[in-house]
Amino acid sequence: MVTNTCLTDSMIYEFDAPFIFWTKVNNHKEIKDTIVPVIKMISDNDNATVTVDGSTTTYYHQKYSYFTNDMLEDIIWKPLEQMHEEKNISKPQGYNLDALWWNNYTSGGRTKVHKHERADWSGIYLLHLEEPNTTTFYSQYGEAPNSGYMNQHKVLNDAVEGDVIIFPSFMQHCGDVCTKNRIIVSFDVISEYERSPLVILN
Ligand SMILES: [Fe+2]
């Protein structure tokens, strides 16, 4: 939604994004009771995981027989729909789930500042927290090189276990250092539009 704010003769134009949206995942307890034991078992025994900065993760593989479509409805699709309604932003013709992975952090674990280049929307489901959430977001354009003036960040400790956070994939963020066990499920969603087949002259 475009917002024009009028203060006497002055005007302000605000873009639709970036913003950070979060909401409760339906059936969180059932999902957690099903998924966390599997994640813990895989973290200990499976060679399809990698360990990065104190976190065991499945970032590089895409086989998740333990997630059901019903779970993905609760974790991804319903919250994404809710986000569109609350922000009143237009939707593409469709969405595809491009990637899903989890991170199981031990004490001292973190994920350094990054963004998700491939997607349109990304999300983080706080599956198991033993302390306040450490996900931190950084203002995208506040990069004044001389002073740092307007550089902003937000530690999203308002979000709690059982919440899913959705944000534009281009937003820089990190999982700051945790001191206890922390398990999150992340995902990337891509917009889909019908296009004519590509034709190239020989
Ligand atoms: Fe991320």
42 alpha carbon – ligand 1 mean position (Å): 21
| 164, pLDDT greater than 60 | yes
| Between residues 55 and 122, the one the model is more confident about | 122
C-alpha of residue 6 to centroid of ligand 1, in Å = 36
Distance from the alpha carbon of residue 187 to the mean position of ligand 1, in angstroms: 9
Distance from the alpha carbon of residue 173 to the mean position of ligand 1, in angstroms: 6
CA dihedral 152, 24, 89, 87 (to 10 degrees): -60
Interval between CA 115 and ligand 1 midpoint (Å): 6
Q: Rounded to whole angstroms, how far apart are CA atoms 50 and 43?
A: 9
Distance 120 CA to ligand 1 centre (A): 13
| Cα separation of the two ends of the chain | 44
Q: Judge whether residue 182 has pLDDT over 80.
A: yes
Confidence of residue 63 (pLDDT cuts 50, 70, 90): confident
Torsion of Cα atoms, 176 then 182 then 183 then 186, to 10°: -10
Residue with more model confidence, 151 or 35: 35
pTM of the model: 0.89
* DSSP-derived pairing of the beta strands 55-57 and 50-52: antiparallel
On the question of pLDDT at 142 being above 60, the answer is: no
Task: Say whether pLDDT at 139 is over 90.
Answer: no
Kindly state the average pLDDT of the residues 185-201.
92
Q: How far is the CA of 10 from the centre of ligand 1 (A)?
A: 37
pLDDT averaged over the chain? 90
Residue spans per domain, the chain: 24-164
CA dist 77 and 89 (Å) reads 16
